[in-house]
Amino acid sequence: MSTTPPGPPESVVTIASVSPQCSKRKPESSQDPNRTPAKRTKSSHSNATTFHRHSKFWAADGSVLLQIGFERMKVHKSRLSSQSEWFDKLFASRMGLSLKDDEDETDITDVKVEDVDGVELFYLDPTGVTLADFENLLSAMDEGIDFYHLKPPFMVVAAIFRAASTFRFKKYLKFATQFLEVEFSDRLEDVTPIRSLHAAEAVILGRDWDLPRILKCAFYELARASGFTQASGDVNSSDQDGEDGDDDATVDHPVHALQQPDLVRLINLQKRLMQSWLEVLAFPPLKCGMPTPCPVGKYSKNWEIVHSSGIAQKYQFDPICGLQKLIDMDWKKKGYCSACQGTRVRWLAARRAKIWEEMDTWLDLDS
């Protein structure tokens, strides 16, 4: 049975009284009222002496103490100040800097602080940043260039993004944003048969933390995973990309965590994609101009190409990759002449681009 981590005792110094929390995260009022907020709720510590010394983030020569829940960390104040505008303002506020009308005022003035053997202790629970998210951000800072060159798991980068957004670590926020927008790119040319993990988490992250560019790809990943019913791993688990679409791999997507409007949006998208694929398979007839016409206009030949090969069934929820499969096919080996092959490929490419463009209307992500 879990208990709510205690907050600072009533006797500790408070930088100022405060109004509700704020950060880059979208306001809760724009979300489903029945959904549990991702941010931590405020709590009051009943016993300031109850804490665990963090096993990793405890520098013997550290100059400031930070605590989230029961976990207390000892780190270097100067390093935090140099990397984070938020922490720089937090520490400066203790020296009398006014934060009136500052965008960070709400979170900073809500932080409670006390003196522990001459070292300042800041309780970060009111910021809403979870211990796991902050640990991942500190780990990225420690690992530096090694972290940059070794592709980190999606869930780790998502944690870094959330913590860096709240605490305004601009360099790490930029890195995390770029990583996420590449991982779930909204460009048609970036769609491949390789399935991306954590699409449901990407939708939630994009919605809650204002990352609109990752939503289109994330929804498509969910829609083409026909089952989309399984559970995901935790924040520290290693990510492995799904297998190639030709192997019809199953990818974990906890869609039960999506808000109701997004579930409806997902179901509608899958229906639209299936309908688009059926329209593609109809293969509008072409008229061959050769003296001896090639079989481009024969419905039986087209049926053999897309149905007997298994392509029709395999890509029923994934017309973007299905169309690419048809584009890459050697139509000459199927009996097409060079001119008809070019005509067919151009039609397929145009239809592929049109489906990807129409997804913006189908998803209606601004609503």
pLDDT of res. 11: 35
Sorted by sequence, the CB contacts under 8 Å of residue 296 that are 6+ apart come out as 285, 286, 287, 288, 336, 337, 340, 343, 344
Using an 8 Å Cβ cutoff, are 161 and 168 in contact? no
pLDDT higher than 90, residue 231: no
State the CB neighbour count (10 A cutoff) for residue 106: 18
pLDDT in tens, 154-181: 999 999 999 999 999 999 999 999 999 9
pLDDT higher than 90, residue 7: no
pLDDT higher than 80, residue 75: yes
Split at pLDDT 50, 70, 90, the class of 304 is confident
pLDDT higher than 50, residue 238: no
**Residue 232: both structure tokens together:** 């995901």
Rounded to whole angstroms, the Cα distance separating 134 from 120 reads 19
Strands (DSSP E) contained in the chain are 13-14, 52-58, 64-68, 71-75, 112-116, 119-123
Answer whether 0.95 is exceeded by the pTM.
no
Question: Looking at this protein, which amino acid is placed at residue 25?
Answer: R
- Residue of 125, 105, 118, 115 lying closest to 41 (CA atoms): 125
pLDDT higher than 90, residue 219: yes
pLDDT higher than 60, residue 248: no
Rounded to whole angstroms, the Cα distance separating 211 from 215 reads 7
pLDDT of res. 365: 83
Using an 8 Å Cβ cutoff, are 137 and 169 in contact? yes
pLDDT higher than 80, residue 42: no
